[in-house]
Structure 1
Amino acid sequence: MRRFSAEYLEHTRRGMWADGRDALADLRLSSRERVLDVGCGTGELTRVLAAEATGGGDGVGATVIGVDADRDLLSVAREESDDRIEYLAGDATRLPTGDDAVDLAVCQALLINLPDPAAAVRELARASSALVAAVEPDNADVRVASTVDAEERLEREAREAYLRGVDTDVALGDRVREAFDEAGLVDVRTRRYVHEKRTEPPYAEPALRSAARKASGAGLADNRDELVAATSETAYDDLRGRWREMGREVVDAIRDEAYERVEYVPFDVTVGRVS
Structure 2
Amino acid sequence: MREFSESYLSRTRDGMWDDSRTALEPLALDSRARILDVGCGTGELSRVLAAESAGDVIGCDVDIDLLATAGEHVPVVAGDALTLPFPDDAFDLVVCQALLINLPDPATALAEFARVSSDLVAAVEPNNAAVAIDSSVDAEDRLERRARQAYLDGVDTDVTLGADACSAFEAVGLEALETRRYDHVRTIEPPYSESALVAARRKATGAGLSDDRRTMLSGTLTEAEYDDLRGSWREMGRAVVEQMEARQYHREEAIPFFVTVGRVDSRRE
TM-score, structure 1 as length reference: 0.93
CA drift at 1:216: 2.1
2:75 aligned counterpart, secondary structure: strand
Q: How has the CA–CA distance of structure 1 residues 214 and 72 changed in structure 2, closer, same or farther, with 3 Å as cutoff?
A: same
Of 88, 91, 114, the residue aligned with 2:80 is 91
Gaps of 5+ in 1: 55-61
TM-align CA RMSD: 1.1
How many percent of aligned residue pairs carry the same amino acid? 60
Amino acid at match of 1:273: R
In structure 1, the partner of 2:56 is 63
1:19-58 to 2 correspondences below 5 Å: 19-54=19-54
In structure 2, the partner of 1:170 is 159
In structure 2, the partner of 1:76 is 69
Amino acid at match of 1:233: E
Residues 169-178 or 115-124, more deviating: 169-178
1:103 aligned counterpart, secondary structure: strand
Amino acid at match of 2:93: L
Amino acid at match of 1:258: Q
In structure 1, the partner of 2:229 is 239
Contact kept? 1:174, 1:269, Cα under 8 Å = no
1:257-268 to 2 correspondences below 5 Å: 257-268=247-258
In structure 1, the partner of 2:205 is 216
- Give per-residue Cα distances to partners, 1:77-102, cap 9 Å, x unaligned: 23xx23xx111111101011111111
CA distance in 1, matches of 2:4, 2:230: 21
1:220 aligned counterpart, secondary structure: helix
Q: How has the CA–CA distance of structure 1 residues 133 and 233 changed in structure 2, closer, same or farther, with 3 Å as cutoff?
A: same
Residues 220-229 or 32-41, more deviating: 220-229
Alignment partner of 1:188 is 2:177: yes
Alignment length, in residue pairs? 264
Gaps of 5+ in 2: none
Amino acid at match of 2:66: L
Residues 145-154 or 214-223, more deviating: 214-223
Residues 205-214 or 112-121, more deviating: 205-214
In structure 1, the partner of 2:123 is 134
Contact kept? 1:192, 1:266, Cα under 8 Å = yes
TM-score, structure 2 as length reference: 0.95
Amino acid at match of 1:73: L
CA drift at 1:248: 1.3
Contact kept? 2:170, 2:176, Cα under 8 Å = no
Amino acid at match of 2:65: D
In structure 2, the partner of 1:256 is 246
Amino acid at match of 2:51: A
Residues 165-174 or 215-224, more deviating: 215-224
CA distance in 1, matches of 2:44, 2:210: 25
CA distance in 2, matches of 1:237, 1:7: 27
In structure 2, the partner of 1:205 is 194
1:119 aligned counterpart, secondary structure: helix
- Give per-residue Cα distances to partners, 1:52-99, cap 9 Å, x unaligned: 112xxxxxxx21111111112112323xx23xx111111101011111
